C-alpha cells in the first residue's frame, strides 16, 4: 500500500503567452470557465481527492491568485449588507483553512520541472499530487480522486494519460509502454514532445501527476530538455528503473484550456451542464450554427 496523498502542488509560474493580451496583467490560471477561474476548479478537484495542503508555485504578476483564495472583508460586508446570502456562501465555501495554503515563488519560469522542484522543502518525503490548472477535467469522480485510488495500489510515479492523434505527439510527454491493462499502463520510458515518427506510442501525459519524492532529487540536477526547459517528464523517465511509472487512463473529458480552442470548448461544455445556463447556451449555439459564417482561413492557435 502506497502512502496517502495529502499534499498538492499547483504550478502557476508560466507566462501564458498564448493568451496575450488577456494574460499581460492577469494570470492565465485566473481565466474563467463560465464564472469560476481555472485555478479554483483545480483546487476543488484536489480537495475532493482528500488533499489537505495546497502549495502554489507562483511567479511575477500572479498575486491575483493569492487574493482569490483570501478573505475579502469589503466584499463580505457589502454582500451581507445587501442580503446576498447565496453569493456570500459561495465565497465562504471556496476558502481553504488557515495554514493549509502555501505560496512559493519560482523566480524565473525555467520549466514545469523547475516549478515543481521549487516546492521540495514543503513536500519533503511523501507522495505529492501536481495539478496543472489549464488542463481541466470534467468527470463524475474527480480525476485526481480516481488517480489516488489507483496509486494506493501501485505507488511510484503516476500521470493521467489519454490517447491523442499521432500528429499531436509533439505537444505531450509520451509513454513507452511495457504493460497495459486498459486502465493502468506501465511504462519503460517516457519521451517529452517527440515527433510523430519518433513517438513510442500515442499515450500522452496530461496535467495531473502523483510524484514519488525521488523525483525531487532528480529535478535537483537541473538538467534541461525539450525547449531548453527543466522537464518533469524527463525527471520521471530518469527514475523509472527504481520508481515504477504508471499512466492512468481517467474517466472523464479533458479540456486543454492553455490554448484558445480548448478554452472556448470548455466554456461551452461547462455552460451546457449548468442548470441556469444550459438551455440558453444551447439556443445560442443553434442560432450560430444556423447562420455560421465561413471559417476564416487562418487556424486559431
Binding site for ligand UTP (CB under 6 A): 11-18, 28, 57, 106, 109-112, 114-115, 132-134, 258
Measured at the CA of 97, the angle between CA 92 and CA 103, to 5 degrees, comes to 110
Smallest separation, CB 102 to ligand UTP (Å): 15
Q: Pick the closer one to ligand UTP by CB: 3 or 60.
A: 60
Smallest separation, CB 14 to ligand UTP (Å): 2
Q: Pick the closer one to ligand UTP by CB: 207 or 247.
A: 207
Q: Pick the closer one to ligand UTP by CB: 115 or 199.
A: 115
- Report H helices in the chain: 38-48, 63-68, 73-81, 85-94, 112-117, 120-123, 143-154, 214-219, 232-238, 260-273, 278-290
SS3 for 240? coil
Burial of 109 (0-12, 13-18, 19+ CB in 10 A): middle
> Which of 201, 117, 128 lies closest to 158 in space, CA to CA?
128
SS3 for 216? helix
Q: Report how far residue 157's alpha carbon sits from residue 166's, in angstroms, rounded to the nearest whole number.
A: 25
Smallest separation, CB 158 to ligand UTP (Å): 18
- Report H helices in 49-142: 63-68, 73-81, 85-94, 112-117, 120-123
Helix (H) or strand (E) segment spanning residue 53: strand 53-58
Smallest separation, CB 118 to ligand UTP (Å): 9
Q: Pick the closer one to ligand UTP by CB: 134 or 212.
A: 134
Which residue sits closest to ligand UTP, CB atoms considered? Answer: 14
Smallest separation, CB 140 to ligand UTP (Å): 24
Q: Pick the closer one to ligand UTP by CB: 87 or 265.
A: 265
Smallest separation, CB 42 to ligand UTP (Å): 9
Q: Pick the closer one to ligand UTP by CB: 42 or 237.
A: 42
Q: Report how far residue 102's alpha carbon sits from residue 86's, in angstroms, rounded to the nearest whole number.
A: 28
Q: Pick the closer one to ligand UTP by CB: 133 or 271.
A: 133
Measured at the CA of 248, the angle between CA 244 and CA 249, to 5 degrees, comes to 155
Smallest separation, CB 123 to ligand UTP (Å): 15
Smallest separation, CB 141 to ligand UTP (Å): 23
Q: Pick the closer one to ligand UTP by CB: 226 or 243.
A: 226
Measured at the CA of 87, the angle between CA 267 and CA 252, to 5 degrees, comes to 35
Q: Report how far residue 100's alpha carbon sits from residue 47's, in angstroms, rounded to the nearest whole number.
A: 11
Amino acid at each position: 500500500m502506497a502512502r496517502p496523498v495529502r499534499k498538492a502542488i499547483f504550478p502557476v509560474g508560466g507566462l501564458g503567452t498564448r493568451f496575450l493580451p488577456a494574460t499581460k496583467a492577469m494570470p492565465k490560471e485566473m481565466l474563467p470557465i463560465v464564472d469560476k477561474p481555472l485555478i479554483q476548479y483545480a483546487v476543488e478537484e484536489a480537495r475532493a481527492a482528500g488533499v489537505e495542503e495546497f502549495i502554489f508555485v507562483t511567479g511575477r504578476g500572479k498575486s491575483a491568485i493569492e487574493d482569490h483564495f483570501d478573505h475579502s472583508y469589503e466584499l463580505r460586508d457589502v454582500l451581507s449588507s445587501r442580503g446576498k446570502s447565496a453569493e456570500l456562501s459561495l465565497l465562504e465555501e471556496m476558502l481553504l483553512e488557515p495554514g493549509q495554503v502555501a505560496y512559493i515563488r519560482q523566480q524565473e519560469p525555467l520549466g514545469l520541472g523547475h516549478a515543481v522542484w521549487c516546492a521540495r522543502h514543503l513536500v519533503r518525503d511523501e507522495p505529492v499530487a501536481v495539478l496543472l490548472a489549464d488542463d481541466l477535467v470534467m468527470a463524475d469522480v474527480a480525476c485526481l480522486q480516481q488517480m489516488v485510488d489507483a496509486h494506493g495500489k501501485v505507488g511510484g510515479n503516476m500521470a493521467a494519460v489519454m490517447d491523442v492523434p499521432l500528429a499531436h505527439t509533439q505537444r505531450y510527454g509520451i509513454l513507452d509502454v511495457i504493460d497495459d491493462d486498459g486502465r493502468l499502463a506501465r511504462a519503460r520510458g517516457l519521451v517529452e514532445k517527440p515527433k510523430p515518427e519518433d513517438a513510442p506510442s500515442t499515450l500522452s501525459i496530461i496535467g495531473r501527476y502523483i510524484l514519488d519524492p525521488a523525483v525531487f532529487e532528480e529535478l535537483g540536477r537541473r538538467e534541461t530538455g525539450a525547449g531548453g526547459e527543466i522537464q518533469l517528464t524527463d525527471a520521471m523517465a530518469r527514475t523509472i528503473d527504481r520508481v515504477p511509472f504508471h499512466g492512468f487512463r481517467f474517466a472523464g473529458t479533458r479540456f486543454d484550456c492553455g490554448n484558445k480552442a480548448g478554452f472556448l470548448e470548455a466554456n461551452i461544455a461547462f455552460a451546457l451542464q449548468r442548470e441556469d445556463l444550459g438551455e440558453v447556451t444551447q439556443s445560442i449555439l443553434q442560432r450560430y450554427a444556423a447562420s455560421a459564417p465561413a471559417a476564416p482561413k487562418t487556424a486559431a492557435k
